[in-house]
Amino acid sequence: MRTPPDPALAAAHWPQITGTPELFMQRENTVFRVQTTIGPHALRLHRSGYHSPQALQSELDLMAMLAGQGMRVPTPAPSATGALLVPLADRHASLLSWLPGTPMGRSGEPLTLTGPARAALYHTLGAQMARLHALTDRWTRPQRFTRPRWDRDGLVGDTPTWGRFWDHSATTALRDLARATLDTAPPQDIGLIHADLVNENVLIHGAQVHFIDFDDSGIGYRLFDLATTLYKATDEPDFPTLQDALLSGYATHRPLPDLTLLPLFIVLRSLTYLGWVATRRDDAALAARSDRYLALANRMIDRYLR
């Protein structure tokens, strides 16, 4: 288990922080819950070497734009100098508003909601995802804006964003099939996406949903956003109903992308986790998931090929 970095030096850059930071989560970033003069916030100490300072600044610019347009996403808070991103000795820090709500679910666990509320939730989620896509299409990005790629090269190119999943020999053929399919498919809808709208990153607050954790947001297929959410629901007994609700919700705010390749993108989402784990072999807790991710990916491949 990694030792959490000391948040005191970071907190000193935001005079609105009061009290002592409390460790909340240690994953890609180390997140502390802090109290401020205007309510609770999340103090993030970004993983060293994962994203460049330019990419981190771009993430904060994206969230600031979405929050300014009324989307329920974390709002970056300026430091004493007005900067949203603060360099420290070995990493960077940022401060985000703390959003209320309960996660839609947890990894490896079924959804917490039951009955008609499940489909209603996915309809709302789809509508908000479409709104995010529409807002980013109209946004003039700042100069030097840079984020990860979730396009053809980012998923199945020679240096994919989350690592070479095809180093598992069982998945090599699927990578070749995906490359050929994407190379011959009609032009796809590509733009800014969240890229990680899994259960933990969707907070339920009454009838609203809040999107958090834009750490992997980037430029990619809009289908990949839809597929990421659906991949986490494939084992739900009412998956067809949830899928229909997500897509119909999306269509209320924005035309649906071509859904022909949606099953392929659900498979590709499962494969990205293999690459993700392969680049984190120094973390024993994550490396232990490799067999589980491989089993899930093989199941997705078999289902797709059938």
CATH number at residue 257: 3.90.1200.10
Q: Identify whether residues 116 and 73 lie together within a single domain.
A: no
108 has pLDDT over 80: no
Amino acid at 24: F
Of 97, 119, 134, the residue at which a domain comes to its end is 97
Mean of the pLDDT values across residues 111-140?
94
In a domain, 197, yes or no: yes
Amino acid at 48: S
Place of tokens 């946004």: 139
Q: Identify whether residues 172 and 249 lie together within a single domain.
A: yes
Q: Identify whether residues 295 and 156 lie together within a single domain.
A: yes
Q: Identify whether residues 92 and 136 lie together within a single domain.
A: no
Q: Identify whether residues 15 and 164 lie together within a single domain.
A: no
In a domain, 12, yes or no: yes
How confident is the model at residue 142, as a pLDDT? Answer: 96
Q: Identify whether residues 57 and 162 lie together within a single domain.
A: no
Closest CA to 223 of 181, 167, 172: 181
Q: Identify whether residues 54 and 89 lie together within a single domain.
A: yes
pLDDT digits (tens, 9 = 90+) for 151-181: 999 999 999 999 899 887 778 889 999 999 9
Q: Look at the chain and count its residues.
A: 306
In a domain, 2, yes or no: no
CA distances (Å), origin 218, targets 111, 167, 196, 228: 26, 24, 10, 14
pLDDT digits (tens, 9 = 90+) for 218-264: 999 999 999 999 998 998 999 999 999 999 999 999 999 999 999 99
Of 97, 120, 141, the residue at which a domain comes to its end is 97
How far apart CA 228 and CA 207 sit, in angstroms, is 22
In a domain, 1, yes or no: no
Q: Identify whether residues 144 and 53 lie together within a single domain.
A: no
Place of tokens 């005079």: 15
How far apart CA 173 and CA 138 sit, in angstroms, is 38
193 has pLDDT over 70: yes
Q: Identify whether residues 170 and 188 lie together within a single domain.
A: yes
In a domain, 295, yes or no: yes
Sign of the C-alpha dihedral computed for residues 9, 12, 16 and 19 taken in this order: positive
Q: Which residue has the higher pLDDT, 281 or 198?
A: 198
How many structural domains does the chain have?
A: 2
- Beta bridge partners, 254, equal none
Q: Identify whether residues 140 and 89 lie together within a single domain.
A: no
How confident is the model at residue 248, as a pLDDT? Answer: 98
Average pLDDT, the chain: 92
Q: In this structure, are strands 149-150 and 218-221 parallel, antiparallel, or unpaired?
A: parallel
How far apart CA 154 and CA 17 sit, in angstroms, is 38
Q: Identify whether residues 88 and 172 lie together within a single domain.
A: no
Contact 98, 219 (CB under 8 A): no
Contact 301, 267 (CB under 8 A): yes
How far apart CA 63 and CA 59 sit, in angstroms, is 6
Residue 186 in 3-state DSSP? Answer: coil
How confident is the model at residue 282, as a pLDDT? Answer: 66
Q: Identify whether residues 75 and 183 lie together within a single domain.
A: no
Question: pLDDT > 90: what percent of the chain?
Answer: 76
Mean of the pLDDT values across residues 278-293?
71
Taking the model in full, what pTM does it have? 0.93
In a domain, 273, yes or no: yes
Of 59, 77, 97, the residue at which a domain comes to its end is 97
Range of the domain at 13: 8-97
How confident is the model at residue 278, as a pLDDT? Answer: 72
Contact 82, 24 (CB under 8 A): no
Burial (Cβ within 10 Å: 0-12, 13-18, ≥19) of residue 47? middle
Return the CATH number at 92.
Answer: 3.30.200.20
